[in-house]
Structure 1
């Protein structure tokens, strides 16, 4: 990667961080309360290295297999790198995910919770978990339905002993996102959860104003994705 490209990623990171800080100040929040997850899916290791060189350490990937091709070497080089799984997880990939990811944000059914718990027992790794809620009740999208969220959270915690720290959602693309962010915040509050993963490149400032504690931003940092590459 050219030094110019590296600088572009560093500049975009700084721009997104500044906008997060501005959104926090508008609602009286401390910008330190919000973590930026740089979503590197379909971007190569050089792009991740450019973000690492700029001082960033928290990244998100959608697919276990793609992350396995990029991050073991990067994590060895940068021990403080934190990796989040933000895409759907199949139960047969749970062991691989637990071995690589520090945070799994897409726990959406009890069968998956059981698989993560079993993998944690075998590997000795206990990733932090978010329950994904399908706030728009879209049939094609992952996530538990809002009405089922309380029961799934309880099962993850009590039955399977997962370290559930928060909730995650992806609003329908054509809906007003603030309504979905408010719903997620309400579900989290009644379950005593304090972390909210919500907001992407198109709506992360709205999410921050609605209480997001972490936002998942890819395109605004790394540029358009090349889906033919992955």
Structure 2
């Protein structure tokens, strides 16, 4: 596999779903990948990358984004509230807005810095107690709080439970986004991104299938 193969599969899934070519954004998940692999994908012209760890992203992306205008970096991993300042400075999108304390921290930092990364609210579609995310029935209240804080999420994100059919979770996320007038759907990873596209995904997150296996600590 590789970037070209994943891109072809995304375009085929768009076509099969009756969607316009290019309607799905591929986030190349570069966490814990060797620099030479990321540099190769950058050289191929890809412009959207995903990271899980603020400290790792701080160490590598400022130089790369300076050298490659137009590249955007998305935060797709859990975000600690004490990393909100750095996250607003560094990322063009944050896909893991998942709790009230983080919303307050991000609102304060966005007001202070004058930067406004795209925001996606992470929804815990499986009601899993060990997983981050807003429960579906708590989403209206959370979005109301975001509005009070002058935050304007552009979409929703989910990670379906391991071992379950992801389709019902993608359907739930799509319906929630529609009901709240949110255009963005960040859902689908290497194993299920074509299913996610069939259910309306606007952003899919693919890592190893593009770059190869990660370093041991990232597996």
Q: Same fold per TM (> 0.5)?
A: yes
SS in 2 for 1:31: coil
Q: Distance in 1 between matches of 2:144 and 2:28?
A: 30
Partner of 1:57: 47
Query: Gaps (5+ residues) in structure 2?
Result: none
Partner of 1:94: 84
1:1-230 correspondence runs (5 A): 12-156=2-146, 158-228=147-217
CA RMSD of aligned residues (A): 1.3
Q: Distance in 2 between matches of 1:45 and 1:65?
A: 15
Q: Does the 8 Å contact 1:127/1:163 carry over to 2?
A: no
Structure number with greater CO (CA < 8 Å, separation at least 6) is 2
State the aligned residue count: 219
Structure 2 length-normalised TM: 0.97
Query: Gaps (5+ residues) in structure 1?
Result: 1-10
Structure 1 length-normalised TM: 0.92
